Structure formats: C-alpha cells, structure tokens
Amino acid sequence: MSSSKDPNPVQASTRASDDSLQADHEKVLGKQPDEKGNYRLLPLNLLFLLSAAILFAGTYLGRFSGYFHPKVYDEYGHPPKAGAAAATAAVDPLVLGKNVYAQVCAACHQPTGMGLPPAFPPLAGSEWVAGSEERVIRILLHGLQGPIKVKGVDYIGAMPAVGPGSGYNLNPEKVAAVLTFVRKEWAGIDTPVSAAKVSEIRGKDGSRQPITVAELEKLP
C-alpha cells in the first residue's frame, strides 16, 4: 500500500517537465541580466561639484561677456550708451564720401572724375562743382533734367536723384559727404558740405521733379 506522503506521480512528472523546460530555456537564452542591478543614485559630492561648476560658468559669463553686445570686444566693456553710439559711429566725411562716390557715382562720372562724353559730364575742373554749394546739393537731391554745359562742352545725359526717397536713398549725411569729397578732390575746396545744409534744402524744396539748368542758374 502506498504512503499518503508519496507525491502524486502525475504531479511529479509535471513538475519534472516544468523544471526541465526552464532549464532548457536558460540554456537557449542564457542568464538574463538584472536590469535594475546597475542603477545607482548620483553621488552627492559629484552633484554639488557639477552645480558649483554651472554656477561659476554663469557668473563668469555674466561679468566678462561684454553683456553679449555684438560691438563689445573688451571683456570688461559695457554696451555703448545712446549718446556715445553716435559719437562712436562718426566717420571722416572724406572717407565716407569717397566710398559713396565709388558705389553710386563712379559708374557714370568715372573714378577719375573725367565723365563719359557726351552723356556724363566731368566733375574734375567743373564750374558746377566749384560753384554754388546750394546748386550741387539740389542736383544730387532732385536729379538734373535737360542739357548742361560743362567746361564749354554740351552734355545731354540725365542725372538721377540720389537723395532721400530716391532709388539710391542716400541720407543727408551721405549726400553731404560725397559732395565734400567731390569738391575737395576735383575743385580743391576744403570747406565741407554739412548734413544740416542738405536737410535744410530738402525741407525747403520738398519732393519734386528733376531740376533744370535754367532753374539752377536762378539760384545764388
């Protein structure tokens, strides 16, 4: 007679089968690593060290970055104030005028100021360049229409306006600078043309059609 403590043959057979099945799986798959076994909290001393480095970097950039202003190259510098910005941006009118002439005027009047007959008169030795300041200012502001005689030669080309509101849209400072350069370079006149004078004439004349030689001759 079998003992009541003896395992059920069916259960023992099933358990053996389960154990063998598990063993077979382990052989095929290998022992799986514990996914949580390698995780640890960041050490507190390392956390404090990283925090201190970030704080130092932020403080350093805040003090020695020139306030991230694009025109500040001194690490101890400060952004320019409103009044100082205009003074810093001041440029020699002869240098500015030469650059404007090269960009806007030289194609017609040539880098030498000799012009291109019969359309574009010379500036070198021109009585108009050496003459009335108000006349040459108006020629640049409004443009010139109709024939003009320069150094005894007739020219028939049209002079476009280059001042504010024109296609070139030169501000009064650039108009004054290019006239200062032209009059100094080809007429030997040292007195600069002022931007205030250009603005005054523009305010007086307003927007208008190109000026003519007949109108210019009536001006002082």
Q: Is 72 exposed, middle or buried (0-12, 13-18, 19+ CB in 10 A)?
A: middle
Is 129 in the same domain as 152? yes
Of the candidates 120, 93, 94, the one whose C-alpha atom is nearest the C-alpha of residue 107 is 120
Q: Is the peptide bond before 164 cis (omega within 30 degrees of 0)?
A: no
Structural domain boundaries enclosing 82: 55-88
Is 163 in the same domain as 124? yes
Specify the CATH number for the domain of residue 185. Answer: 1.10.760.10
**Residue 14: its H or E element:** helix 9-29
Is 79 in the same domain as 122? no
Cα dist. 51→13, 61, 64 in Å?
A: 62, 16, 20
Is 59 in the same domain as 124? no
Cα dist. 2→9, 14, 15, 30 in Å?
A: 12, 20, 20, 41
Residue with tokens 């500036």: 123
Based on the structure, what is the number of domains in the chain? 2
Q: pLDDT tens digits for the chain (220 residues)?
A: 444 555 555 455 555 566 777 777 666 666 555 555 565 666 778 878 888 889 888 777 766 665 565 555 555 555 556 654 555 456 899 999 999 999 999 999 999 999 999 999 999 999 999 999 999 999 999 999 999 999 999 998 889 999 999 999 999 999 999 999 999 999 999 999 999 999 999 999 998 999 999 999 998 8
pTM of this prediction?
A: 0.60
Domain finish residue from 88, 109, 132: 88
Residue with tokens 């358990």: 15
Is 117 in the same domain as 174? yes
